[in-house]
Amino acid sequence: MKKLIVLFLGFTLSTTAVFANNDDSVVTAKRELRLEIVKLLGNNEFPLTAAVAKAEISILLNSKNEIVIVSVKSENQLLEGYIKRKLNYKKVKVNTLKKMKVYRMPIKIIPA
């Protein structure tokens, strides 16, 4: 019985250590991707009708490390076209994210 308790305790501690391991590299890679997207969008060349234009983009990285726009959700059709034109098939330097996985990201464009 004592061996069974020790075995159970060892199993519990080992699984806790595995699940407690936080994957900071993915968080850092997503942050780097966000910074690259901001850089690709550049200064605001988009004519704003409101104080802030918002959109939510769904993107994936292909095997060539290019951003592929899956969808852009926004009330402003011009903003959707602007984001697609600026980001679609542009190369990024983020290598640690999974290829062909859809990532969602909110976008806010404010006056420059």
pLDDT at residue 110 greater than cutoff 60: yes
The model's pLDDT over 30-42, given as tens digits with 9 standing for 90+, comes to 899 999 998 998 8
pLDDT at 87: 93
Q: What is the mean pLDDT of residues 80-106?
A: 91
Q: Report CA Rg, the chain.
A: 21
pLDDT at residue 14 greater than cutoff 70: no
pLDDT at residue 18 greater than cutoff 60: no
The model's pLDDT over 47-72, given as tens digits with 9 standing for 90+, comes to 777 778 889 999 999 999 999 999 99
Query: Which residue has better confidence, 12 or 85?
Result: 85
Residues 6 or more apart whose Cβ sits within 8 Å of residue 44:
109, 110, 111, 112
pLDDT at 4: 66
Q: What is the mean pLDDT of residues 82-102?
A: 91
pLDDT at 2: 65
Ordered domains of the chain (ranges, CATH): 23-109 (3.30.1150)
